[in-house]
Amino acid sequence: MRGRDPIALTEALLAGDRRALPRLLSVVEAGGDDAREVGRRVYTRGTGAFTVGITGPPGAGKSTLTNQLIRVLRERGSEVAVLAVDPSSPYTGGALLGDRVRMVDHAQDPGVFVRSMATRGHLGGLALAVPEAVRVVDAAGFGLILIETVGVGQSEVEIAGAADTTVVVITPGAGDGVQANKAGLLEVADVFVINKADHPQTAELERDLNFMMDLTSWPDGWRPPIVRSIALSGAGTADVLDAISRHQAHLTSSGDLDRRRGGRALAELRRVLVARLEQRADTMLGEPRHAELRDAVAGCRIDPWSAAEQILGHLD
Amino acid sequence: MRGRDPIALTEALLAGDRRALPRLLSVVEAGGDDAREVGRRVYTRGTGAFTVGITGPPGAGKSTLTNQLIRVLRERGSEVAVLAVDPSSPYTGGALLGDRVRMVDHAQDPGVFVRSMATRGHLGGLALAVPEAVRVVDAAGFGLILIETVGVGQSEVEIAGAADTTVVVITPGAGDGVQANKAGLLEVADVFVINKADHPQTAELERDLNFMMDLTSWPDGWRPPIVRSIALSGAGTADVLDAISRHQAHLTSSGDLDRRRGGRALAELRRVLVARLEQRADTMLGEPRHAELRDAVAGCRIDPWSAAEQILGHLD
Smallest CA–CA distance, residue A236 to chain B, in Å, is: 26
**Residue B107 within any structural domain of the chain:** yes
Could you give the maximum distance between any two Cα atoms of chain B, in Å? 66
A301 and A214 within one domain = no
A175 and A136 within one domain = yes
**Residue B16 within any structural domain of the chain:** no
pLDDT tier at B206, thresholds 50, 70, 90: very high
Q: Give me the pLDDT at residue A290, please.
A: 92
Min mean pLDDT across B49-63, B108-122, B216-230 is at: B108-122
A198 and A95 within one domain = yes
The answer to whether residue B92 scores a pLDDT higher than 50 is no
A102 and A157 within one domain = yes
Out of A254, A280, A295, a domain closes at: A254
Nearest CA in chain B to A32: B305
B82 and B154 within one domain = yes
Element (H, E) at B81: strand B80-85
Residue B215 to residue B11: CA distance in whole angstroms: 51
Segment A261-303, tens digit of pLDDT: 999 999 999 988 888 888 888 888 889 999 999 999 999 899 9
A304 and A197 within one domain = no
Mean pLDDT rounded to a whole number for chain B: 86
**Residue B279 within any structural domain of the chain:** yes
> Residue B36 is nearest to which of A58, A154, A305, comparing CB atoms?
A305
Out of A201, A229, A254, a domain closes at: A254
Nearest CA in chain B to A90: B184
Instruction: Give me the mean pLDDT over the A176-197 stretch.
Output: 81
User: Is the minimum CB–CB distance between B248 and chain A shorter than 8 Å?
Assistant: no
For A131, A309, A311, B217, B263, the CA distances from A305, given in Å and listed in that order, are 33, 6, 10, 36, 16
B129 and B66 within one domain = yes
The answer to whether residue B156 scores a pLDDT higher than 80 is no
Count the domains in chain B.
2
**Residue A198 within any structural domain of the chain:** yes
A305 and A223 within one domain = no
**Residue B102 within any structural domain of the chain:** yes
User: Is the minimum CB–CB distance between B294 and chain A shorter than 8 Å?
Assistant: yes
Residues in A touching B284 (Cβ below 8 Å):
273
**Residue A181 within any structural domain of the chain:** yes
Segment A84-128, tens digit of pLDDT: 987 654 433 344 545 556 666 777 888 999 998 876 555 557 778
Q: Give me the pLDDT at residue B157, please.
A: 78
The answer to whether residue B107 scores a pLDDT higher than 80 is no
ipTM given for this complex:
0.81
Q: What is the CATH number of the domain that holds B241?
A: 3.40.50.300
Query: Containing domain of residue B283, as a range?
Result: 268-315
pLDDT tier at B90, thresholds 50, 70, 90: very low
Residues in B touching A278 (Cβ below 8 Å):
274, 277
A311 and A191 within one domain = no
Segment B257-285, tens digit of pLDDT: 999 999 999 999 988 888 888 888 888 88
**Residue B4 within any structural domain of the chain:** no
Q: Give B215-233 as a DSSP string.
A: TS--TTS-PPPEEE-BTTT
**Residue A15 within any structural domain of the chain:** no
Task: Check A306 against B182: CB less than 8 A apart.
Answer: no
**Residue length of chain A:** 316
- Region at B263 (left for phi over 0; alpha for psi -120 to 50; beta for the rest): alpha
The answer to whether residue A176 scores a pLDDT higher than 80 is no
Element (H, E) at A170: strand A165-170
A235 and A282 within one domain = no
For A98, A220, B236, B282, the CA distances from A51, given in Å and listed in that order, are 22, 19, 48, 27
The predicted model scores a pTM of 0.70
